[in-house]
Structure 1
Amino acid sequence: MITKDQKQSLIQTYGKNAQDSGSTEAQIAILETRIKDLNEHFKKHKKDHHSKVGLIALVNRRRSLIEYLKKSDVDRYKTLIQKLGIRK
């Protein structure tokens, strides 16, 4: 689970300012962190199928936000993909 401090630092890093949690880059960064945390969770709890449904929902939401960013501004898309290390 992502803590409040982690979320705030992600917003400061990827948002336009410290209060900008709604920007596409900040939302993608927060989703990426939650997805990584869930992947670590599944290493211990392999049969947690309920959380896998939530993971799939997070991945789909991240994918749609990435596609939106790619359509609207390619330069921001490329820099975000490089910063987060997402393969595309």
Structure 2
Amino acid sequence: MAISKTEKNDIIKKYATHEGDTGSTEVQVALLTTDINNLTDHMKNHSHDHHSYVGLLKKIGHRRNLLRYLKDNDINRYRDLIKRLGLRR
């Protein structure tokens, strides 16, 4: 269920805004999106796993807050990120 180190590093390199960037909003949203997609697949196979469902909802809420922050502060970065991740917004 967890993201492997190599996959996480690839996501960080892809969405980083500058060298050594691991905490920008884009990177955080991309990592959360990967986690959400993995948990969604897990929930499709294990529908009775209610603990994972709670974690999924928390991650969705966290991503929503980060996207709202990005939208309020830099609409162009927000639109670019939504397009790159393929989110429906």
- TM-score, normalised with respect to structure 2: 0.95
Q: Which runs of 5+ in 1 are unaligned?
A: none
Give the direction of change, closer, same or farther, for the CA distance of 1:29–1:63 in structure 2 (3 Å limit).
same
**Structure 2: 5+ residue runs without aligned partners?**
none
Match of 1:45 in 2: 46
Q: How many residues align?
A: 88
Aligned AA for 1:57?
K
Greater RCO between the two (CA within 8 Å, min separation 6)?
2
User: Any conservation in 2 of the 1:8–1:18 contact (CA below 8 Å)?
Assistant: no
> For residues 49 and 55 of structure 1, do their structure 2 counterparts lie closer, same or farther at Cα, with a shift above 3 Å needed?
same
Amino acid aligned to 1:28: V
Q: Secondary structure at the residue paired with 2:72?
A: helix
1:19 Cα deviation (Å)? 2.2
1:29 to 1:37, Cα distance in 2 relative to 1, 3 A:
same
Corresponding residue number in structure 2 for 1:73: 74
Separation in structure 2 between the aligned mates of residue 7 and residue 38 of structure 1, nearest angstrom: 15
User: Which residues of 2 match residues 2-81 of structure 1 at below 5 A?
Assistant: 2-81=3-82
Identity over the aligned pairs, expressed in percent?
45
Return the TM-score normalized by structure 1: 0.96
